[in-house]
Structure 1
Amino acid sequence: MDVRRRAGASGQPDTHSGSEGPSEGRLRPTVESSETQSVGDGAMTDGRTDKCSDCVGESEAMCDVRSGNTSNVDESTAARSENTPNEGAGGTADSPNPTSRSAQSDAHRGPFVAALDVGTTSVRCVVLDRRLEVRGVCRRPVQLLYPVPEHVEIDPDQLFEAVCEVIKGAVADAGLTLQQVTTMGISTQRSSFTTWSRDTGRCYHNVVCWSDRRASGLVKAWNASLMFRVPAHVCWLLHKVTGNPRFQAVSVLRLMNAQVTMRLLWCMQNIPVLREDIGRGRALFGTLETFLLYRLTAGRLHVSDRTNAAATGFFDPYLMQWSGYPRFLFGVAPPSMLPEVVSTTYDFGSTAPEVLGAPLKIGCVIGDQSASLFGAECWQRGDVAVTLGTGSFMDVNTGDRPHTSVRGFYPAVAWELGEEVVFMAEGAAGDTAASVLWGRRIGLYDAVEDTAALAESVPDAGGVRFVPAFSGIAAPVNDFKAAAGFIGISAESSRAHLTRAILQAIAFRLRQLYDSMRAECAFPLRHIRVSGGVARNDALCQMAADVLGVRLERPRDVETSVRGVAMLAGLAAGVWRDRSELEPLRQTERVFEPDPSRGAALRAEMAEWERALQRFGEWYPDDVK
């Protein structure tokens, strides 16, 4: 039996309301909800707005996040809000933060660091003390907007309002004032962007999310064009002559929607006032960290840090500067609209006093996956951080030089701290949480928390294989025409077999990434530390350890992006002298040791799963994403 599905489980709902197209002003699209949109920030919430009465004057309890753990909400609570935009398999706890209450009476635990984490579906701020213990938390949902099919947006004004609310709310929840917070670090989702007027500060359009697919036609056309293919062939020849791996990497390069390049080009082509102001040098561009810094400093700063710039598609991580190639080839991103690129721990100064009511020093700005790598304390070359959230991200510390890949891994900047510049290679497998949530939606289980016990109730998947390709299959397969679905279902197949097949598929994709990383890296891969909301699934983590044949460490706090940005901001501000003071603060909640016999059995099942992957490959005439 072969069941294939192309449902909108890649972050997009199956239907969209509203028909508003691009305009010269701000877009005001219809709002739609999607259950998969709640997973990208590691924790899946139950759809409630986490009110902090100290900052918004509401009568509700202060931010109900306990000890920084935002991934333990009861699944039945989530199920009650099936149609809310923040629905999923985890979320906030149901009691106020007990630790934060004590901050009012033991201020000697300072200095305090604020960590602002801007995710796809929520914005949160966490105040931590010198021991990295949570003192206060505030969280707000982010409403994703779907004005027309394939468009995924965020209202920039609402986003900035939420950012200001959570900063003030977390500080109040800690029983502190802004003046008592030493510094703040900012971690953001990457590749989401907007543009705005240099004169008025007003945005020309909503934030275009990283998951937006409006530029699919441009991506397809450019990937097939001679202007794009000829340079690739030239680079292939240059690689044959010189042996330079950079030429080989360019020869296999392909454009994708996840990169900013084509989505920005779409905006330039379809929003006349933006195009006109770019010609006059009056338009500014920024990914989320740039936009937020501009607003937080009342227009003083128009900068991007290198970890976020490296994810745009038009930044050269080898030269550490904006690349002129996309501008020459596509006519996109002229220098007049691009921000200055600075270090992760650049001297950003403080927020404008009128924005938050008092100035707050900004000590660090960093992309979310880079923050997770640092927060997992993957500080040595070969250390590996795996984040299981909306997708599965495998980030490898590659030391002091960018990694050149021919298998689809992205060379990125990990962080900059003083004179130290660290790079990472990133591989991503999409649809991790989307697959788990889809399984619940079709009735395989009532609660996502049930998946571990259900999967472990059978010794294997009973011949059932699942291909998690709602948005195609990324590296190292790189087949964006693949279909998603089950194969191998028999009359004896049960819900447990299908559930186990879903979890196995996630583990198998990790094995593909790991094998390809090992083949490309000229150094051994070391510690593997796992984080993210889906990492709370013990059965999945054990399967991953078994099929990889390596031990996996899961920290007590799986929200490592918050921890990482707080560490970097604190190091830059002198809260900690160096990383040696941070090492004793890492707490491992559980270690998953590989079992050789289970690993051998899983690898045999993986061989069959790879056959299923071939069967489902190249299914659609066009890229899914």
Structure 2
Amino acid sequence: MRNPFDLDENSVDGDSEPPTDLEFEVDVRPHQTDDGERAILQDEEHHPSDLKERFIGTIDQGTTSTRFIIFDCTGVPIAKYQTEFRQIHEHPGWHEQDPYELVESVYICIEEAMKSFLALGHSRSDIEAIGITSQRETALVWDWETGEPLHNAITWTDTRTVNLVRELKEKPGAEDLVNICGLPLSTYPSSVTLRWMLDNLPDVRSAYDDGRAAFGTVDSWLIYNLNGGPQNKRLVTDVTNASRTMFMNLETLQYDDRLLNFFDIDRTKIRLPEILPSADREGFGEIYEGPLEGTPITSCLGDQAAALVGHCAFTPGSAKNTYGTGCFLLYNVGEKPVISKHGLLGTVGFQLGRDRKPVYALEGSVAVAGSGVSFLMNNMGFFRDSRKVSDLAATVPDSGGCVFVTAFSGLFAPYWIDDAQGTIWGITHHTQRGHIARATMEAACFQTKAILDAMEMDSGKKLTELAVDGGMSNSDICMQTQADIIQIPVERPAMHETTALGAAIAAAFAIGVWKDFSDLKHMNRANRATFEPNITPKESTHMYKRWSKAVEMSRGWMRDQAGLDDDVE
């Protein structure tokens, strides 16, 4: 797959439709390894030749697109295919997806990637296992008997529940939830979405009352369908996805009645997925039909947890930041959960087997990263290619005093300001498009700094470097800006498919390819790019103070628009 910031020589600023997100680079050709992947492939000392002949397939189902990638067991992508699916926005703040399209996109990607794989001389039986990684909090409810979805999937970026969240925060016991599940009340977790569906969608309510409703996040929906749907009725999830529902106890890794009762969920009326480790040889079943019929599914992780594994961040104190549709920074805190006191999320990082302890993480979530660049392209007419937005940002030395608070869905960690809206401050006659482009990228970098500061306060340790991946990380100017703002080195691997690689690593663990984390110490280490800070700490501090002031000024705009401010007539 070509770099999302690489300019296609045939790309023009004409009438062709722009990509809807930085992830939307659809590769329909047999894959050729790039220089970074070739360097990994040639590292005979660390990757014995037999690992090159063992293959794992990964389904990577993101917020805006799906891909299927076949890795050899040295971590090199051999074949891959990516496709988009529709985003449904019927009302402001609403974001839905067609459940059938999610499944269909997976089958399309498997079929097309397999064509490339077979064309390279391999056979179907060479693929030993399948791993799955997916968007996390996106919620679905379907009929357990027929397998039919009862509504569209409601995504993690959807903000229709903002008023419900406000009501839930007033309920007795609301302040205790975070100590059980690690998550604060917000529009983010799928528990709140399920509560809204039960209260507002008659079909969902009827199925719930009749005991026919099955609930799950995208991973559960995909695994259910890939296993044959109502024929086999496999309803499972893993600890990383379950930890994003607000239904799972971080300590026990099981559903907690205190949490279910808070949201008025009766577990006798709704089927909840069985919670499994992220790597499991039997629990996730096998592909029911298609080119990979009979191939076992042996791993399942939420996308950000998969990226943590893909960076081989197995030791406490290691961290990664993924710049996709949103921006997600995970920090490994070891084998005991840490409940944040500074606005972060406590979550499960991974559990690579039933005989292994779970590894926990602190997480900071930024709602808008690459989707901010997509906003410039799709809504504001800033070119038709994400590379050009990056080049545009490079035409100016700084943001020209502009600060863009990209609060399209409120602000997530560590702020948790539900009623903020997107605002641009500092516009003058001097302002050019380059300044806006630069301010858009800086927004993700500033929020990353806020998260790192909170992590330092929670953990008592200062990060010494930050590993990065995701579409926007391919922009050198963005990553240099990130290093300048956080004042520590930023490391970017040469092979960019880190999330999918994490699911492949977990799947390989389940079938015994790897025995210990130390076996992976050289995985995806070749040809990394390092960005060192180029400005002084004083300059960085000044930039961050202006950002913090802009954040405070963005508060309340959504509340005011909705007529909820008592001071507004």
TM-score interval, smaller chain: 0.7 to 0.9
Match of 1:98 among 28, 32, 35: 32
Match of 1:256 among 152, 176, 186: 186
Contact 1:472 1:623 in 2 (8 A): no
- Residue 201 to residue 401, structure 1, CA distance change in 2 (3 Å): same
Residue 157 (structure 1) aligns with: 100
> Once the two structures are superposed, what CA deviation does each residue of 1:128-187 show, in whole Å capped at 9, x if it has no partner?
112222221122222223345544322222322222232233233211443221111000
Map 1:118-517 → 2, pairs under 5 A: 118-175=61-118, 176-223=122-169, 225=170, 228=171, 230-232=172-174, 246=179, 254-298=184-228, 299-332=232-265, 334-335=267-268, 336-346=270-280, 347-348=282-283, 350-351=285-286, 353-354=288-289, 356=291, 358-418=293-353, 419-440=356-377, 441-442=379-380, 447-517=385-455
> Once the two structures are superposed, what CA deviation does each residue of 1:212-244 show, in whole Å capped at 9, x if it has no partner?
334334223333x3xx1x3246x59xxxxxxxx
> Once the two structures are superposed, what CA deviation does each residue of 1:305-352 show, in whole Å capped at 9, x if it has no partner?
110010112212122111212432232252541111111112236425
Contact 1:90 1:533 in 2 (8 A): no
SS in structure 1 at match of 2:460: coil
- Residue 460 to residue 316, structure 1, CA distance change in 2 (3 Å): same
- How large is the Cα RMSD of the aligned pairs? 3.1
Residue 567 (structure 2) aligns with: none
> Once the two structures are superposed, what CA deviation does each residue of 1:482-536 show, in whole Å capped at 9, x if it has no partner?
2323222333333333333333332222111111110111344344101100001
Contact 2:17 2:384 in 1 (8 A): no
> Once the two structures are superposed, what CA deviation does each residue of 1:413-436 show, in whole Å capped at 9, x if it has no partner?
111123131011111122222332
C-alpha displacement at 1:542, in angstroms?
A: 0.8
Contact 1:195 1:203 in 2 (8 A): yes
Distance 1:601 1:120 in 2: 35
Q: TM-score, normalised by structure 2?
A: 0.86
- Residue 232 to residue 181, structure 1, CA distance change in 2 (3 Å): closer
Distance 2:443 2:92 in 1: 28
Contact 1:74 1:90 in 2 (8 A): no
Contact 2:413 2:451 in 1 (8 A): yes
Contact 2:445 2:481 in 1 (8 A): yes
Residue 541 (structure 2) aligns with: 603
- Residue 589 to residue 92, structure 1, CA distance change in 2 (3 Å): farther
SS in structure 2 at match of 1:602: helix
- Residue 303 to residue 207, structure 1, CA distance change in 2 (3 Å): same
Contact 1:119 1:188 in 2 (8 A): yes
- Residue 71 to residue 351, structure 1, CA distance change in 2 (3 Å): farther
C-alpha displacement at 1:478, in angstroms?
A: 2.2
Q: Match of 1:280, as an amino acid?
A: D
- Residue 352 to residue 95, structure 1, CA distance change in 2 (3 Å): closer
Q: TM-score, normalised by structure 1?
A: 0.78
Identity, in percent, stands at 28
Contact 2:62 2:134 in 1 (8 A): yes
Contact 2:340 2:458 in 1 (8 A): yes
Residue 44 (structure 1) aligns with: none
Distance 1:129 1:153 in 2: 35
> Once the two structures are superposed, what CA deviation does each residue of 1:93-147 show, in whole Å capped at 9, x if it has no partner?
58542359x99xx998311110110112211111111222222112222222334
SS in structure 1 at match of 2:358: strand
- Residue 301 to residue 113, structure 1, CA distance change in 2 (3 Å): same
Moved more, 283-292 or 160-169: 160-169
- Residue 575 to residue 622, structure 1, CA distance change in 2 (3 Å): farther
Contact 1:388 1:535 in 2 (8 A): yes
- Residue 95 to residue 168, structure 1, CA distance change in 2 (3 Å): closer
- Residue 82 to residue 467, structure 1, CA distance change in 2 (3 Å): farther
C-alpha displacement at 1:623, in angstroms?
A: 9.0
Distance 2:139 2:433 in 1: 41
C-alpha displacement at 1:83, in angstroms?
A: 4.8
- Residue 444 to residue 96, structure 1, CA distance change in 2 (3 Å): same
> Once the two structures are superposed, what CA deviation does each residue of 1:441-497 show, in whole Å capped at 9, x if it has no partner?
435667532344443444433333222222222222222222323222333333333
Match of 1:591 among 530, 545, 549: 530
Distance 2:397 2:19 in 1: 36
Contact 2:60 2:67 in 1 (8 A): yes
Moved more, 169-178 or 75-84: 75-84
- Residue 622 to residue 291, structure 1, CA distance change in 2 (3 Å): farther
Unaligned stretches of 5+ residues in structure 2: 42-48, 563-569
Q: Match of 1:178, as an amino acid?
A: R
Map 1:57-96 → 2, pairs under 5 A: 65=1, 72=6, 74=8, 77=11, 83=17, 86=20, 88=22, 91-92=25-26, 96=30
Q: Match of 1:208, as an amino acid?
A: I
- Residue 488 to residue 276, structure 1, CA distance change in 2 (3 Å): closer
Residue 621 (structure 1) aligns with: 559
Contact 1:89 1:449 in 2 (8 A): no
Distance 2:168 2:271 in 1: 23
Unaligned stretches of 5+ residues in structure 1: 1-64, 237-244
SS in structure 1 at match of 2:528: strand
SS in structure 2 at match of 1:203: coil
- Residue 504 to residue 143, structure 1, CA distance change in 2 (3 Å): closer
Residue 32 (structure 1) aligns with: none
SS in structure 2 at match of 1:543: helix
Counting matched residue pairs gives 538
